[in-house]
Amino acid sequence: MAILKIARMGHPVLFQQAEAVPDPAHPEIRRLVADMAETMVDASGLGLAAPQVHVPLRLFVWRGPEGVEALFNPELTPLEGPAEAAYEGCLSIPGLRGEVTRPSRIRFRGLDLHGEPIEGTAEGLAARVMQHETDHLDGILYLSRMTDLTKLGFTEELARAQPRE
């Protein structure tokens, strides 16, 4: 396994539409997933999309209930319920966080690491991470989802501004 270089905001790979993964079980794809998982954990991320490591494929890894999980060719559908505003960070935009409103519950479908269909629902942080990573597959950074740029700041400054209990 290897730690991969993470593309930062401004790199063209982050603004293009990723291509479908034809065979998730291919050995090169499995190696990519292992490297992405190691990279995400090393960077203390909650998720990592393939375009963030300069690979324009529709694949992301995230910290799921069973540990690090992978989803190929994801399709997400918002479910009924309220949208939630929360601060997001991104490994491709180090040091910044911004408030983004997203559906709090989603249905997801795609392929697992063996190329088998998988589907389910996610809510809360898991839903947010899956939406954030799927945005990367569509060439969208969270900054484009922000409606109030006064809710964007450096992570350290935002932490200092939080009321102490």
The three-class DSSP label of residue 34 is helix
Strands (E), 79-163: 83-89, 96-103, 105-111, 117-123, 152-154
Catalytic site residues? 133
What is the per-residue pLDDT for 66?
A: 85
Residues 54-104 have pLDDT tens digits of 999 999 999 988 899 999 999 999 999 999 999 999 999 999 999 999 999
Please tell me the pTM assigned to this model.
0.95
Residues 101-123 have pLDDT tens digits of 999 999 999 999 999 999 999 99
Q: Would residue 90 count as lying in a domain?
A: yes
* CATH number of the domain encompassing residue 124: 3.90.45.10
What is the per-residue pLDDT for 93?
A: 98
Residue 160, H or E segment: helix 155-161
Determine contact, residues 64/91, Cβ cutoff 8 Å: no
Q: Would residue 127 count as lying in a domain?
A: yes
Q: Would residue 7 count as lying in a domain?
A: no
Q: Would residue 5 count as lying in a domain?
A: no
- Locate tokens 């597959």: which residue? 137
Q: Would residue 16 count as lying in a domain?
A: yes
What is the per-residue pLDDT for 100?
A: 98
What's the CA angle centered on 83, arms 78 and 88, to 5 degrees? Answer: 100
The count of domains in the chain is 1
The boundaries of the domain holding residue 35 are 12-161
Say whether pLDDT at 155 is over 70: yes
Q: Would residue 123 count as lying in a domain?
A: yes
